[in-house]
Structure 1
Amino acid sequence: MTFFRLFALFIFITLLQQHGIIYRTGSKRPLRPSREIRDERIKPKPANILGTWRISGVSITRSGVVQPDGQPVRQYEGGDKHNMLISFFPDSTFTRVGTAGEYTAGKWDFDTTARTIFLTANRKTEEIGVFFSYADNGLRLINFEFSQDQSVSLTEYGRELLRFQDDPYFGKNNWWRVKPLQSENDAKIRARLLNYLAHTASILNSAQLREQNYISMEFSQGIVKLYNVGVGVVKKDKIPATWISSFYSVDEAHKAYDMLEDYLFTGKHKKYQSGNWVRDDHHILVDIHNGMKRK
């Protein structure tokens, strides 16, 4: 029986890795907060919306369709059809990141009295109703009520960091996602690559700070390949399409790939053996970033 359980666990971890999620051993489960703290964390106020949230479902009322009891029919779609993160920061900025390469940055403001949030992006402002609660697994939930007919539920994904500028999804750590409008020279391609490397390193660092039991590259798929312990690149024919599309052209994306691959082969690399592969890979990525920046 033990063998089959281990085999099932292996299959589960393999599937997670295929989706950019790496299980992290040795992490600690945080203690459950007191009732007072739990109640405080779902009050409708700006501080409680800070951090990163993942869409877990979309509910839409079908116009003109009712159930036998006269109630409107609501159609619910799971979060797997809407793979997106939204992060809120204390400087009133927010970002939205999707697994298909979507990226939006904007400003937010919270109206405590009306219990609504204002999201401004791409010269458009939306006022959205906000309701906090808890999921069965203890994670916080937000319901965004766009209208009487449409709402979006979001599950807590990552708590606010003490230095929010170090958050992987903070704006300055994600400009590599913004496709340029014109061809870039080698210096700009390298800068875009360096921003991507810094972003990837920040995912590992934030996982340590938050004491997460997993590392997810699901929303940041690129050319970096993480090992236990070590950092490499994916095969050239396996470069994610979303990463390529963040460059002006395929050729410029391949040029960035070649820059990193060349540095990995020719650069001098310090060894790390702390026993914590997440910490070690973070240090390795920082060294690679800094080394390429000086080159």
Structure 2
Amino acid sequence: MTALLRVEDLTVEVRSAHGTSTPVNGISFDIERGETVGIVGESGSGKSLTAMSIIQLLPTRAVRMVGGRILFDGDDMAGFGASRMRDIRGRRIGTIFQEPMTALNPAFTIGFQIAEPLRRHLKLSRTQAKARVIELLDMVGIHRSAQTAASYPHQLSGGMRQRAMIAMAMSCEPDLLIADEPTTALDVTTQSQILDLVLDLQESHGTAVLLVTHDLGVVAETCRRVVVMRRGEIVEKSDVDALFRAPEHPYTRGLLESMPSRNAGKDRLPTVAERAGLS
């Protein structure tokens, strides 16, 4: 079976006044339909640049993909123009960004921003989009959905902003959801709720998920396979169970040893409470 997403020998280059660096160097991995794959590594490992390369949202002109292929449903997206990528982003690939306060536009209401991909990609009327926004906010567990739709990002809590971001990312029922550190700025309880929400939506919609995180505990709870990155390269790829029970690379073993609850035992993976040091 053809993988939904296949990244082959991806290389990203950064040019600056100090010279050229390669923060992502020849990495390869794939994601099957409906599967959750985690990319894990410390800050600066290249995991977020990898995710942004997939959807061609690298941060500056000085950062560019210089090698490899990104195959989505068999097509190489590296050769797609800006217009075709805009058609794919939001419609077939949804994205949850690390900090919704900076990803959401402060000048527009939550409802307007969730409705935008519905109107662009699904051609819904204003009335249809408004009704669908309410359904989506209900779906992500925001109970006062009409009030939330009329609110601006700064009027919501961090957890509610992240739920609204998930509603927008899932609005067109994409084939692939890229979640870039979706719980980093949240407290432990809200983090658990957001992760459960992503998994519930994945199961109900059959969406594949690429989860980018520095937290192996999050990977343990959500992913079937994991890619471990260090200094722009993949040092280990494994099923999650195998990685936790018998990590092969010294760097992976170091990440596991640095987890707050390494005593979770070899017969099971750590829970949210254990990962947070609460039990």
Higher strand content, 1 or 2: 1
TM-score between both structures, scaled by the size of structure 1: 0.31
Q: Please identify the structure whose Cα radius of gyration is greater.
A: 1
Higher helix content, 1 or 2: 2
TM-score between both structures, scaled by the size of structure 2: 0.33
